[in-house]
Structure 1
Amino acid sequence: MNLDKVLKTASRVLIEAHLKPVIGTRIQPTGFPDLGAAEYSAPDGKGGLEKMLLVESAQSMANRLEAVCWDEATDDIIPELKGLPFVTVKLSGIGNGTDTTNSLLEFHRLNSPYIMNGARDDGISFADVIRKELGLGSAPGKKSPKKVVEAATTEDGAGDKERDEVAGVVNLRRLAAVCFQYDPNSLVHGIFLEKIAGRLRHPRALSAFIEASGVDRADSGGVKFDRVLPKPSVGGVDAKGGYGNVPFHRSEFTARSITAFFSLDLAQIRGYGLPAEATRLLKVLSLWKVRRFLDSNMRLRTACELEVDEKGGGIEVSRPKDFALPSTDELTVELAKLIKACKPHFAAPTTTALTWNKPAGKE
């Protein structure tokens, strides 16, 4: 099945990538505060249960799929994506004032407080720019809020109340067009502008996670040796200051199989109501992100570097049938054409520059 047919007719693409450790047999999973590793049981298909492990969460995978767009060596978007719009912010209120961040790296993308509270050269905040382009304002009889826009308390803003009422019907297609204009990436990984209006959201079109099955613990440990003061009391100090020999333990895991799962909702992307070339760009960009990630070194943590296990099944597309994930090179060529075709729908210039200043009185 060719790419054109899939992008036009399929409702979703489901991809499974079979992985293995680059060296050895142990893996270091993601950990959570007050929980540690996420261990659980799942039906084994034989009437019993199998021990499972979450290696990488959906939240973390969204960050990793965004990271493939950024070149840390040059501190810029990678050459293959030049011309794709995003928002950059100069953090003038922190450090020596030369630090920057951007919507490709920020945890809430366009909804980052550094972006929403950032201002253009004309002094207009990005939040006000978005409000105007969405046709939203304060409720009748109310002035526009002047307070600082706060960040959502969770990755998707769940449970966070809408702070300000807005006048006007929330048009989610218009929201998609505005997000596409400033950062198409935000429509791939989800956007929630709850500080403007609680109804302004699009869920992730591309979701992913990595889990392992048939797992068992591999516990080990060691000692941090102090060459100078193995017994800190001799020098009048204590272990709280980092002195002395300190034993430690660590828990890693072995697994019968490790699988990365990707789900791309093509129907959702079509529902944005964007021009045909913009819709296609989001679909191709999503597939490119998946392939680029799988082609990377996949070093999730110090003790967890994975690679595609070709003998164990490699990369499989479970839906639609008879479709194979194109190579990075093939998708890159297609992306270059689409970025050029979508230029009329992008912000001008494509990189929106803002400046963020630390709020007065905040230390």
Structure 2
Amino acid sequence: MTTNARTVLKVELRPLVGSRFQPTGFPDLGAAEFDSGDGRALLVESAQSMANRLEAATWDDARADQAEALAGLPYVKVVDGSGAFLSSSRLEAHRLASAYVMSGTIDGVKGEDWMRGRLGLQAGRPLDHRAVARACFALDPVSLVHGVFFARKAWPWQPKIARAVTSFIEAYDVRPAVSGGVKRDVVINEAKDGATAEGYGTVPHHRVEYTAGRITAYFAIDHSQVRSYGLSKAGTALLTALIDYEIGSLLDGGLRLRTACDLDIVAVLGERPDTADAAGRVAKLLGECGDELAPVTTVTWTGRAKG
């Protein structure tokens, strides 16, 4: 479903092998079950996790660099004092607001001060949301797709950009599938005197997976928010192409969320993005809005400061 304000994509899924699957778990909660109009339901993958998975489509772990199809797109790279790669704005939970960026240095300037200057924040002046968006776009356009929050108490403002894409996976008509297993020790069979804590002994354990009548992944793209950034026509189109590239790459690569949660696509309700087409659009649009984009920014991080 696509409107001028939103595009919603629904992807029907099923376990690739068998009928059981393992949902995401939360501390002190376990699997997130809830009641729905379709009976007992389950959160298979959260919006936060899906944002990370979509963003990971732009990154090549083997190269410690962004995907070759996106070459030329800016991002922030974090290195140590010797220049060895540590992280990037594509890998950090807070993206451009990462602690490694804020406490590192850029051309000899502390990252926090450097970033505040790039965002144009001034005491006694209103927060210019479009200026903040343009600054984030210049440093890493992907940060405008998945959001960023600069929670800096020392700043006159704490700019926040919400996700432009929200995705999650739910299962309906779910039932627990309880099983068990044993960690077997062929040398020391008894688990006593602290042996278990040290990894010795034969220890039985239980396991809870689920079956479902239906599993659905949802993707909602907020076009109104993307337009609100006030970028050029080419810049806005570049963000849309990036979103299509991420969703297409994620679906093409398979949804192996965990060892016991490997999902296969049954049907796509809506227009499935073409990854190759999206990559071609990104390459073309990079040339058209090059003046709005900075080169890759390198931050040097040498360790935590005391306190």
Identical columns (%): 44
Assess, with a 3 A threshold, how the Cα gap between structure 1 residues 198 and 301 changes in structure 2: closer, same or farther: farther
Cα separation, 1, equivalents of 2:31 and 2:83: 38
Cα separation, 1, equivalents of 2:211 and 2:110: 50
Partner residue in 2 for 1:102: 88
On the 8 A contact 2:121/2:157 being kept in 1, the answer is no
Cα separation, 1, equivalents of 2:268 and 2:242: 18
Cα separation, 2, equivalents of 1:28 and 1:197: 44
Partner residue in 2 for 1:43: 37
Structure 2: which 5+ residue stretches go unaligned? none
What is the identity, as a one-letter code, of the residue corresponding to 1:329? A
**Larger C-alpha radius of gyration, 1 or 2?**
1
Cα separation, 2, equivalents of 1:91 and 1:305: 36
Partner residue in 2 for 1:69: 58
Cα separation, 2, equivalents of 1:123 and 1:344: 25
Matched, 1:343 2:290: yes
Partner residue in 2 for 1:256: 213
Cα separation, 1, equivalents of 2:25 and 2:132: 34
Deviating 4+ runs (over 6 angstroms): none
Partner residue in 2 for 1:308: 265
Assess, with a 3 A threshold, how the Cα gap between structure 1 residues 237 and 15 changes in structure 2: closer, same or farther: closer
Corresponding residue to 2:236 among 279, 288, 292 = 279
Instruction: Please report how far the alpha carbon of residue 330 of structure 1 lies from its aligned counterpart in structure 2 after TM superposition.
Output: 1.5
On the 8 A contact 2:183/2:203 being kept in 1, the answer is yes
What is the identity, as a one-letter code, of the residue corresponding to 1:257? R
TM-score (norm 1): 0.80
Matched, 1:214 2:214: no
Partner residue in 2 for 1:132: 117
Corresponding residue to 2:129 among 137, 153, 172 = 172
Instruction: Please report how far the alpha carbon of residue 232 of structure 1 lies from its aligned counterpart in structure 2 after TM superposition.
Output: 4.5
SS, match of residue 197 in structure 2: helix
Q: What are the superposed Cα offsets for residues 62-108 of structure 1, whole Å, 9 maximum, x if unpaired? A: 1000001111122211110001110000144xxx9845100001001
Cα separation, 2, equivalents of 1:221 and 1:359: 43
Instruction: Please report how far the alpha carbon of residue 346 of structure 1 lies from its aligned counterpart in structure 2 after TM superposition.
Output: 0.8
Cα separation, 2, equivalents of 1:255 and 1:31: 17
SS, match of residue 36 in structure 1: coil
Aligned residues: 305
Corresponding residue to 1:17 among 8, 11, 20 = 11
Partner residue in 1 for 2:272: 325
Q: What are the superposed Cα offsets for residues 215-273 of structure 1, whole Å, 9 maximum, x if unpaired? A: 1000101110011111245xx65222121000001100001111000010001110111
Instruction: Please report how far the alpha carbon of residue 168 of structure 1 lies from its aligned counterpart in structure 2 after TM superposition.
Output: 2.0
SS, match of residue 178 in structure 1: helix
TM-score (norm 2): 0.94
Assess, with a 3 A threshold, how the Cα gap between structure 1 residues 194 and 167 changes in structure 2: closer, same or farther: farther
Partner residue in 1 for 2:146: 189
Matched, 1:28 2:13: no
Structure 1: which 5+ residue stretches go unaligned? 45-49, 138-165, 318-323
What is the identity, as a one-letter code, of the residue corresponding to 1:341? E
